[in-house]
Structure 1
Amino acid sequence: MSPLRPLLDPPYSRSPCLMSSVKQKCIFFHPMHDNVIYQMDTPELWGATIHCSKYGWLLLSRKNGSVFFFNPFDRIKIELPSYSNWKRCESMNFSSPTTSIDCFVIGIVLYGEKFIIIRRGEVAWTLCEFTDYFRPFNDSNPLLYKGRCYWLGVRGYDLPAEVGIFDPHEYLSHPNQYKYRWKYLPPIIPPKHLDNSLKNSYLLESDGKLFAMFELHEIEPSIQIYKVNPSFGPRMEWHKVTNIENKMLYVSSGGSFSELAVAKDMSNKIYLPNVLDNNNIFYSLETNKYHSCFSDYSSRNTSLGKELTNCTWIIPSCIDLDVGFKW
C-alpha cells in the first residue's frame, strides 16, 4: 500500500485529489502526481455510497439506512441515526462543519417527492413531503448554499433544465409543518438536444454564483456551462460561461466545487471524475478539448479512460476532534 502522507504535505495538500471507494479500498488520484495512485484499506466503507465531501469529511450511507461521516486521512468515523424507515434516499448533503452545533444533514427521497432532515443532537430523522414533483439529472446530490437547498433537474419531459429550491429552515422554524413546495430559478437555456445527448450534469457555487454544467455526447463544445447570481431576485438570468479565468472546477458524483488554481497551467480547467493510466482527465475551456495530466492525450468530443463511480474530490486534511465527541 502507498502511504497517504505525501497528499497531506505542500504543495499537494493545497489542491483536491480524486477519491474513489471500491469494495474495501480507498484509491486517490492527484492531478499533480504522474501515474501514481495512493490507496488504503477501508473496511469501514464496505457497501457505502459517497454523497459529498466538505470540510475534510465524507458523508456516506448504506442501503440499510445507516448514515455516517468519515475522514479517510485520520480514519475517524461518526455514526448518525439511521433512516431505515425510508428507501431510495440516494441524494444527501450537510450544511456546515460536522463539529458545528448548527450542522444538519438533508436527504432527498423518491426523486424529489420528499426529504428527510436531522440536526446535530437529534436522535431521529424527520420526513417531510413536497406538494409537487421535481426530477433531478443523474441522481445528483443537492447543493446547500446560504441555508437553502438547490437541485438541478426538470419538472417533466421535454421541459428545460431548471434549478429547484427549498429552504430547510422553514422546517427548522416550523417543525410541525410537513408539506413544502419547490420553488424554481428561471429556466436554464438548455444545450441543443439536451435530453438525447446529456452524459453528466453538475451544480456548484463559486463566488456567490451558481454554475450549472452539462457534459454532452456528440455535441461541441462537449462541456457547456451557465451561471446565475441567485441574489438578483426577479432580475436573475442565466449566462453562458466560456472562461473561468484563474479558477478550477472539480466535478464528481460526490459533489462539485471551485478552487483558485494553485499553478498557472491548472487554471480555466474542469477536472472530471475520469482517469487515464492513473492520471486525471480535465477539460480545458481554452482549447474546448479533453486532456490528460502528464500525457499528450487530447480529444474534442469524448473523454477516454475510466469514469469513476462512487467518488468525490476531496482536499487532503487532518481533523482535530475532541475525544468523546458526539454528533
Structure 2
Amino acid sequence: MGKAVGLVENCVPTSLSNDQESKEGQQEPWCNIPKDLLDSPPPWLCSFRNTGNNMERCKFFHPMHNDAYEIRINPEVSNATILFSGYGWLLLSKGYGQLFLFDLTTKQSIDLPDCSEDMVSVMSFTSSPASPDCLVVGLSSVSDIAASFTYKLGEDSWNVYFIELDRLFLTKDCSPVFHKGLFYCLDRKGCLIEFNPNEPDQSWATYKMRLPERESAAHQTFMLEKEDNLLAVLITEDSKSVHVYKWDDEEKMFQPIKRLGDYMLFVSHGASCSERAIVKATD
C-alpha cells in the first residue's frame, strides 16, 4: 500500500456519504447504501484526501460495484502512511517511527510504542486490535540477517529478535501473513521466511520457491489466505504475467495452481484477501 490507498477487508462504516451528497454536507447512513452493495460489502478500497477547509475525508470505493462513499476522518490519519489493514482497522505510520492503529468504523485510535524506521519495512497484525490477543509484527532484513519486531497490545515496548538466515532475503513490500499460527513473508526472488511469533528467536525457517520459467525475479509479490490455504501471487518482472501458487504445509513448497474456482483475489502491498465471485461477470 502507498500513503493514500489501502484495501480494507472487513469494514462496515456506520455513516457514509456519496460524492454528490458530501459536497452538500449531508451524510448518508450505512443502511441506505444500495442493497446490492450490502450483499457483499468487503473488500473496499480506501483513500485519503484533503477537500480544503480542514475537511479530511476517507473515500471508500467498491471494486465490484463501481460505487464510492466517504466518511470524515482526523487530519493526523489522512497524513499517515498505510502499512497494513485488516478486520476494519488500519496500521498507520506518521513517520519517524510513530505507529498507530485506527478503526475506520468507530474512529478509535491506538498509539503504539515508537520504533526504529527500519521496522516499518513490512508489518501486519494477527487479529482485530479490539482483541486482547492481537499481536503486531514487523519484519526487516538486510542480506542474510533478519529481524522480527513483535508487540502485544498493552505492553510497554517492542520485542526485537535478530536471526541469521541461511540465504539472502530482502523485504520489500509483501506484508507478512499469519497462517495456522505462523507468519510467512515472501521476497521477489522467491525466498520464503516462516517463523512462529511466540518463539521468534528459535523458530525461523527459509524456503526457496521455483519462479516461473525464464524469470529471475518477480516484479511484485503478494500473499494471502484463501479458505484454509496460503496463496502467493507473483507478477513477473519480464513478462508482467500473473502466477498463483498454493503452499503445501507438509511438503514445505509452493505448488502452481491454474484455477481459483468461484473466488476472486484482491491484492495490495498492505493487505490482500479473497472473496467469492458472487457478482455477475466477476467470475
Query: What TM-score, normalized to structure 1?
Result: 0.66
SS of equivalent to 1:170: coil
Query: How many residue pairs end up in the alignment?
Result: 247
Q: Classify 1:86/1:17 alpha carbon distance in 2 versus 1 (closer, same or farther; 3 Å).
A: closer
Counterpart Cα distance in 1 of 2:90 and 2:254: 31
Query: Contact 1:138–1:201 (CA<8 Å) still a contact in 2?
Result: no
Q: Does 1:12 align with 2:34?
A: no
Give the corresponding residue for 1:127.
160
What are the equivalent positions in structure 2 for 1:18-97 lying under 5 Å apart?
Answer: 18-22=45-49, 24-34=56-66, 36-42=67-73, 43-83=75-115, 85=116, 87-97=118-128
Larger RCO, structure (CA 8 Å, separation 6 or more): 1
Q: 1:92 Cα shift? A: 0.9
Q: Is the 8 A contact 2:128 2:134 kept in 1?
A: yes
Partners of 2:79 and 2:141 in 1: how far apart? 21
Is the 8 Å Cα contact of residues 266 and 273 (structure 2) preserved in structure 1? yes
Deviation (angstroms), 1:25: 4.1
SS in 1 for 2:173: coil
> How many angstroms apart in 2 are the aligned matches of 1:134 and 1:81?
30
Asked whether the equivalents of residues 131 and 180 of structure 1 are also in contact (C-alpha less than 8 Å), the reply is no
- 2:190 corresponds to which of 161, 165, 170: 161
Aligned 1:1-327 pairs, distance under 5 A = 2=22, 5=29, 9=33, 10-13=35-38, 14=40, 15-22=42-49, 24-34=56-66, 36-42=67-73, 43-83=75-115, 85=116, 87-111=118-142, 113-132=146-165, 134-136=168-170, 138-153=172-187, 161-171=190-200, 179-180=201-202, 182-185=204-207, 187-195=208-216, 198-216=218-236, 219=239, 222-230=241-249, 232=250, 235-267=251-283
Alignment partners' CA distance in 2, 1:4 and 1:73: 14
Other-structure match for 2:10: none
TM-score (norm 2): 0.76
- What amino acid is the match of 1:161? G
Cα distance in structure 1, aligned partners of 2:84 and 2:221: 15
Q: Deviations along 1:237-264, whole A, 9 cap, x unmatched? A: 4222221011111100111111222325
CA distance in 2, matches of 1:69, 1:181: 27
User: Residue 217 of structure 1: CA displacement?
Assistant: 5.0
Note if contact 1:246-1:264 (Cα within 8 Å) is conserved in structure 2. Answer: no
In 1, Cα distance between the equivalents of 2:146 and 2:211? Answer: 24
Distance 1:50 1:254 in 2: 7
Distance 1:192 1:161 in 2: 13
Percent identity, please: 28
8 Å contact from structure 2 (residues 90, 103) kept in 1: yes
C-alpha RMSD over aligned residues? 2.7
What CA distance in whole angstroms lies between the structure 1 residues aligned with 2:234 and 2:86?
23
For structure 1, the residue ranges without an aligned partner over 5 or more in a row are 155-159, 172-178, 268-327
Unaligned runs of 5+ in 2: 1-18, 51-55
Distance 2:225 2:114 in 1: 29
Change (3 A) 1:108 1:56: same
> What CA distance in whole angstroms lies between the structure 2 residues aligned with 1:218 and 1:116?
33
What is aligned with 1:323? none
Give the SS at the match of 1:168.
Answer: coil
